[in-house]
Structure 1
Amino acid sequence: METPVIVKVHEGLHARPATQFAKLAKGFSCSLKIGRGESWADAKSAVKLMLLGVKQDERIVLRAEGEDEREALGKLSEFLGDASVNLPAGEEPAASVARAAAPAVTPQETATPAAAASTQSTQPTQPTATPALKGVPASEGVAFGTVFAYFREEIVADRQFVAPHEVDSELTRFGAALEETLRAMLAPRPGAQCDDETDDEIFAAIADVARSDDFAGAIRTLVASRWSAEAATLKCGLDLAVAFATLPDEYLKSRADDIRGLTRAVAATLLGKPMPSLSDLPGPSIVIAEELSAPDLARADLRHIVGIVCTTGSATSHVAIIARSHGIPAVLGLDAHHDTLRAASRAAIDGSSGEVWLDHAPELEAAMTQRIAAQREVDAALLAYRDVEPQTRDGRKVVVAANLGSVAEIEPARRAGAMGVGLFRTELLFMDRQCVPGEQEQYEVYAELARAFAPWPVIIRTLDAGADKPLPGVRFPKEENPFLGWRGIRMCLDSPEIFEPQLRALLRAAVHGNLCVMLPMVDDVDEVRRVKAIMARLAAELAAAQVPHALPRLGIMIETPAAVLTADTLAREVAFFSIGTNDLTQYIMAVDRMNPNLAALYRTEHPAVLQAIRMVCDAAKRAGISVGVCGEAAGKPALIPTLVNLGVDELSMSPNAILRAKKLVTEIEPVRNEAARALPERVCSDE
């Protein structure tokens, strides 16, 4: 059984998503392969997936053979089609590769880099005397301080071959050295925070590669043929690193750094050879090295690293990713001789421009100190909006809420200042399992959400699934165009055995806070009336059984042209609208948003889409109900003023965009007359 898929995973199947995908594939008994052009790879091998080089927006073929092949293809296709998989912290699903500027720190001020808040790139610092060396900008921000030179000696095996009777002991030595290396890498890092998820995922992905047949398996095979454990490790590690380094994709090519770092660490352990360690940092330092890998950073206290400079590496390396996630300025690929770098005692770096100054003039540090202070003012200003309930300049209140998919996201959303939940995607609760969740399990999740955000509203979207988003345990028909097929409220009304337990759970959870229910994919007012009748019947049954419950406010998603054109009729039946700009844009523009060839047409800022939004807002105003936006457009700075001026009352987005959105709302000027509400010919995208 085969199915074509457009890969939407951020940056394609490199280390972390490949590892996640392989782990998911191993949960199925059927054989699974991925085809890219003429090349095929075992879907259960993370290394083979990485070497296949699958990129974002690329068309691949999934092939399955076995009794659970249909379920496997559905689950794996869903993973590959999820644009949010592997997003760096702070980015929206539709964001470009530009990342938030990392605030710089100096050893004199603090040893703890703060979280990034500004999306504005910093301007290069002009040196007053010392000329700058030039490298690759890898993590934005500026820093200066004492140099910690991190240069290693080459590791060479003591012997290449062993006697036949030594093979078993060599295999044992290798296994012990590998596990010791991985234990050190995976152990909690000094000063690590409990939410350092990006680091944990990177290290876990490297550990999976280390234990794979392509690394550990290849080494054991070589040892079995009488190679020494050290020689086999160095040989197989080099071969695998070269395989990655020769790939054309920059993200995959950068994984060679990790393979070399892993190989070095295992070989050094086998040889009993002490290696320089970043755990030996004497204090806040600028780390200068030839090459750094994720394993090198695994034991480092990142609070003591205020900047990173390497003569190798790229902005796509795991070192760059970790640096960005911790707000550490970094410049890689620096064009400088090792002796020059070893001799330096102080350094200043600009991770935005890729410039590095060695033993620089004092005036440069003074200029950088001013930039650091300015950046901190921006960060502090945004943090001040956490508890703000924003209003436009003419006093119009706008709710800024969070889009969530699990209870694990509650605390990050609350810390970001979310004014409730504008969209809770219940399909994720259904998908992360082998069978449909029961009423009690759903009730506990919905009740926890309601309690966590009370008295703010929590909008729970009823199950939004279909052939494009299959569910374990639910048989969906094969459809030529699943986006126009049996999905959302259509599927739920036809499946009372799934829909009614969810509605009962929602009615029961409504007593715990301001819980609202939202119906997806509504086309016709009769669909709303049928749901209202079902809810009334279920409420009567719960009352008869003396089960505590309440009737929540009922709303609908506006995501089809039919809902836009009948918004006045629908508004009389519900308490609120929420515009799903992702699907609405797709349907208004007649564009498959999964098709990379049509990306230029998939624009929420197109006048046709904005006209539809204005029609919905006007209908909501006439009926006296609220209207929100819960699609990706809600978090886009360039669109927020337009949406609010069109009449949107609530913006719901990823938690990391909330502070910025609150600030933007407070800066929106009032619309003086109807002419001012005229649609712009073009809205500049912030991407």
Structure 2
Amino acid sequence: MLTSLRSIVQEVNSARDLPAVLSIIVQRVKKTMATEVCSIYLRNRHDKYVLMATEGLNPEAVGHVILSRGHGLVGLVASREEPVNLDQAETHPKYEYFPETGEERYSAFLGVPIIHHRKVMGVLVVQQIKGRTFDEGEEAFLVTMSAQLAGVIAHAEATGALVDIHSDRLPTEAKFSGIAGAPGVAIGRAVVTSPPADLRAVPYRKCEDPAFEVTFFLESLTRVRENVRKLGDELGNRVNKEERQLFDAYVGMLDDASMGGEVMERIREGVSAQYAWSEVILEHITNFQSMSDPYLRERASDVQDLGCRVLAELQQSNQEERVFPENTILIGEELTASMLAEVPEGRLAGIVSVRGSSNSHVAILARSIGIPTVMGAVDLPFTKLDGREMIVDGYHGSVFSDPSRNLMHHYQDIVDEDLQVVRMLESLKDEVCETTDGHKLELWVNTGLVADAMLSLERGAEGVGLYRTEIPFMLRDRFPSEEEQRQVYREQLEAFFPHPVTMRTLDIGGDKALPYFPIEEENPFLGWRGIRVTLDHPEIFLVQVRAMLKASEGLNNLRILLPMISAIPELEIAQMLIVRAYEELMEEGYLIDMPPIGVMIEVPSAVYQAKELAARSDFLSVGSNDLTQYILAVDRNNTRVADLYRSLHPAVLRALKDVVDASHSEGKPVSICGELAGDPTAALLLMAMGFDVLSMSATNLLKVKSVIRSISLTDARELMTTVLALPDTESVYATMEAAFKEAGLSRMLKPAIPVER
């Protein structure tokens, strides 16, 4: 069955549309399992399950047999969300007879739910005349098939391919989950952007004049054919016979009437030449990759190369000025800063990237300019969404395509409320961050771009708790020189002078990669990252530290922060190298004060050695993002476990309190610079724990200040004591929400997730 499964998956992946997928599955599963019937029921907008494909039942029943959740055996599978395996189905109390299907002859029944992100999308069923119980292997095979089908159905629902049974209208409110990249809500229209000649990133677009589009396609094909022939002739005397045959094969494929015919057929169905070509080529690539013959399987790369050549010609020959609507939702597989720059000023409302994380350069840039962003939306069928209405929920990491009127109203209310809160908070920028009973708390900012500095100072920032020095490294195609680094660091230090600027040494690895210094690992978050990289490459570390120290001359507002420290020796070696760089510069004539050196608390081992680390350093700074994921064993950039990443988990809160107590016991200040510090709900608890500084994105600073100024330290400590005794995250959130409502601070809470209907 494993061989059959692979073959079916290959066919499904190359299928044109949802009906083709359903047809392939019912036919192939029926044959593989040697049953008389295989059927697929899909959930419609009314939460009912409709027979959408069958091999064995009356085909005229498709679209007409409809069951509610809990009704009939199909409804039973949907409600139980687990397989139902019966040898005498007709004797089961939930059995319902539908004359139009002709299924009364079938006794054996096996149904498995089709589940995507905990939501039952449909039911996959096999039936047999002879009464018997399907064995474990057969059940496991069908469960595997349903898992393959789930993602396809979710994509079809989002792109409008799943037509509602009772009307010609397309379904609405398709929801996809990702990682919250930058807070806020954006409502607008999607513009899909992609790098050139990327076959898997061609946006779906219709063509108004199929005849013209076919002519354009054939002309482009002729130009590529001529170019390939010319290239083959030019290389004729420099390559061997086998390599020359490759160019002949390319020309042969371009002359292949069947391939061009498939493309033209799809163009005549109303899609653009680029999209039609990419579809056909990807199907051919899949077919070659599934072949058993090694030689033919290797030809898949040749087909891909040829496909990219033709696509590049189609794109270049059909360049037209991109139209960006007033509220552009920019969508792409992996967005870059240059792609954002293409959108005219004032028109970029939201950002959605299929790949990337909350630490990606685009996400950091989005937070600095206040654009709601969702990263890592891996299930988003982005190529099919161009021109569609979209909602980007940057608070919860959700993306909605074709939202309903009710959902639009819900999110428009959030947008209006956010604007009111921003206007209301403007008056606080010059006020002191002080509780009602006189406790002062310093609010600093996290920065990484030059643009961050201006916004941070406008919001009343009192310093920089985290300057991400990897950003200048990410913006280049090589390691920046010592002088280039010095200039960048000097700009930051001067912009915030006389306030302190905490510069974290190069923190790469994990989800932060440099294109010119790739780190390939199976488990990057537990691998070579942070201080581990720079201590293994002291030449990189010393150049960076020298640049920082030089930049601080005459200002002396520099603080150095060491990331990913997990043991005392790492701290001591790093300190030794910093002292070495300092002494070298003093000998060279620089007049520099030795800056404070701090340790980032990001891993559990550092939590348990916080006292010893504080004793050996000048300050501690908690990186709550990494600390949370390591304590909970949850990859914060994995959408499949995003629901388990809870920053207010009791274990996380107790670890934070332990770090504060350990640092203060050594007389050392402690700050926190993760996303948690910018959450007004959490900020109240962090202040009560005793954190000396909260460092956050500039966009959150005034919200946090408003909350701190609205409550007394005494009340905050009482609330913290209550919360630290709670057993689960849900209780923590409920308690904090009740406290905020009682204090009249409901407007500062993260907006609620809309209830799914």
| Alpha-carbon shift at residue 546 of structure 1 (Å) | 1.0
Counterpart position of 2:669: 626
- When residues 612 and 541 of structure 1 are mapped into structure 2, their CA distance, relative to the original with a 3 A threshold, is same
Match of 1:441 among 475, 484, 492: 484
Q: Indicate how the Cα distance of structure 1 residues 551 and 156 shifts in structure 2: closer, same or farther if over 3 A, else same.
A: same
1:388-427 alignment runs, 5 A limit: 388-427=431-470
Q: How big is each residue's C-alpha offset from its partner over 1:31-78, in whole Å with a ceiling of 9 and x where there is no partner?
A: xxxxxx75999xxxxxxxxxxxxx999xxxxxxxxxxxxxxxxxxxxx
Tell me the CA shift for residue 659 of structure 1: 2.1
Contact 1:331 1:350 in 2 (8 A): no
Give the drift of 1:470: 4.4
CA distance 1:390–1:486, shift in 2 (3 Å): same
Unaligned runs of 5+ in 2: 1-8, 14-115, 119-176, 191-206, 224-253, 281-313, 327-341, 349-384, 395-399, 735-749, 753-757
- 1:384 is paired with a residue whose SS is helix
User: Is the deviation greater in 579-588 or in 606-615?
Assistant: 579-588
Aligned partners of 1:98, 1:530: CA distance in 2, in Å?
38
Supply the distance in 1 between the matched residues of 2:610 and 2:214 (Cα, whole angstroms): 78
Say whether residues 1:458 and 2:501 are aligned partners. Answer: yes
Q: State the SS of the aligned residue for 1:447.
A: helix
| 1:552 corresponds to 2:595 | yes
The correspondence for 1:487, drawn from 507, 510, 529, is 529
Question: Residue 482 of structure 1 aligns to which amino acid in structure 2?
Answer: P
Secondary structure of 2:533's aligned partner:
helix
State which of 558, 562, 568 in structure 1 corresponds to 2:605: 562
Q: Does 1:381 align with 2:424?
A: yes
Deviations along 1:556-602, whole A, 9 cap, x unmatched? 10112221112122212222211111111122223343444443432
Residue type matched to 2:495 in 1?
A
Which residue of the partner structure matches residue 543 of structure 2?
501
**TM-fit CA distance, 1:321:** 5.9
Which position in structure 2 is the counterpart of 1:192? none
Larger radius of gyration: 2
Q: Is this contact kept in 2: 1:635–1:653, CA < 8 A?
A: yes
Q: Which residue of 2 aligns with 1:683?
A: 732
SS of the residue aligned with 2:733?
coil
Deviation, 1:469, is 4.1
Q: 1:327-342 counterparts in 2 under 5 A?
A: none
Structure 2: how far apart are the matches of 1:578 and 1:94?
Answer: 24
1:574 corresponds to 2:574: no
Relative distance call for 1:623 and 1:547 in structure 2 (3 A) is same
Structure-2 separation of matches of 1:529 and 1:508: 22
Rounded Cα–Cα distance in structure 2 between residues aligned with 1:600 and 1:158 = 49
Query: Which whole-Å CA distance do the structure 1 matches of 2:513 and 2:183 have between them?
Result: 33
Alpha-carbon distance between aligned partners in 1 of 2:644 and 2:407, rounded to the nearest angstrom:
37
Q: Tell me how far 1:540 sits from its aligned partner.
A: 1.8
- For residue 485 of structure 2, give the secondary structure of its aligned residue in structure 1: helix
Correspondence for 1:514: 557
2:622–2:672 contact (8 Å) kept in structure 1: yes
Cα–Cα, structure 1 residues 99 and 40, in superposed 2: closer, same or farther, change >3 Å?
Answer: farther
Which residue of the partner structure matches residue 658 of structure 2?
615
Distance in 2 (alpha carbons) for counterparts of 1:630 and 1:660 = 16
Q: Distance in 2 between matches of 1:301 and 1:101?
A: 13
**1:637 alignment counterpart:** 680
Q: State yes or no: 1:585 paired with 2:634.
A: no
Larger RCO (CA within 8 A; separation ≥ 6) = 1
Count of matched residue pairs? 432
Equivalent-residue separation in structure 2 for 1:481 and 1:278 (angstroms): 39
Residues 424 and 354 of structure 1, relative CA distance in 2, 3 Å threshold: closer
**Greater helix share, 1 or 2?**
2
TM-score (norm 2): 0.46
Distance of aligned partners of 1:544 and 1:373 in 2 relative to their CA distance in 1, 3 Å threshold: closer
Supply the AA of the counterpart residue of 2:502.
Answer: I
Which whole-Å CA distance do the structure 2 matches of 1:436 and 1:300 have between them?
31
Identify the residue that residue 409 of structure 2 maps to in structure 1. 352
Gaps of 5+ in 1: 1-36, 42-54, 58-91, 103-136, 140-153, 172-217, 245-262, 271-276, 282-296, 304-315, 336-348, 356-367
SS at match of 2:620: strand
Match of residue 247 from structure 1: none
2:645 aligns to what SS in structure 1?
coil
Instruction: State the identity %.
Output: 33
CA distance in 2, matches of 1:299, 1:530: 48
Provide closer, same or farther for how the CA distance between residues 612 and 542 of structure 1 changes in structure 2, counting only shifts above 3 A.
Answer: same
Moved more, 493-502 or 525-534: 525-534
CA contact (8 A) 2:443 2:701 kept: yes
Distance 2:716 2:407 in 1: 47
8 A contact 2:390–2:403 mirrored in 1: no
Distance, in Å, in 1 between the alignment partners of 2:346 and 2:477 is: 40
Alignment of 1:39-58 (within 5 A): none
TM-superposed CA distance for 1:237, in Å, is 6.6
Is contact 1:451–1:513 with CA below 8 Å preserved after alignment?
A: no
- Matched residues in 2 for 1:620 and 1:416: separation? 29
Residue number in structure 1 paired with 2:272? 236
TM-aligned CA deviation for residue 502 of structure 1: 0.7
Contact residue 486 and residue 547 of structure 2 kept, 8 A: yes
What does 1:119-158 align with in structure 2 at a 5 Å threshold?
A: none
Provide the secondary structure at the position in 2 that maps to 1:503.
helix
Change (3 A) 1:553 1:351: same
- Hey, what's the Cα distance between the residues in 1 that align with 2:670 and 2:605? 17
Contact 1:508 1:550 in 2 (8 A): no
Q: 1:466 to 1:94 in 2, by over 3 A?
A: closer
Q: Distance in 1 between matches of 2:212 and 2:178?
A: 51
Deviation, structure 1 residue 156: 6.4
Q: Note the aligned Cα RMSD (angstroms).
A: 5.8
- In the alignment, which of 644, 651, 672 is matched to residue 601 of structure 1? 644
**Separation in 1 of the partners of 2:591 and 2:117?**
48
Look up the match of 2:697: 654
CA shift, 1:645, in A, is 1.0
Equivalent residues of 1:671, 1:677 under 8 A apart: no
Tell me the equivalent position of 1:145: none
Is the Cα contact below 8 Å between 2:688 and 2:716 reproduced in 1? no
Letter matched to residue 611 of structure 1: R
Aligned with 1:449: secondary structure? Answer: helix
Tell me how far apart the structure 2 counterparts of residues 569 and 503 of structure 1 sit (CA, whole Å).
24
Residues 659-686 of structure 1: per-residue CA shift (max 9 Å, x gap): 2122122123322697654215232184
Offset of 1:233 from its aligned partner?
12
Q: Tell me the CA shift for residue 513 of structure 1.
A: 5.0
Answer yes or no: is the 8 Å Cα contact 1:638–1:683 preserved in 2.
no
What is the identity, as a one-letter code, of the residue corresponding to 2:688?
Answer: N
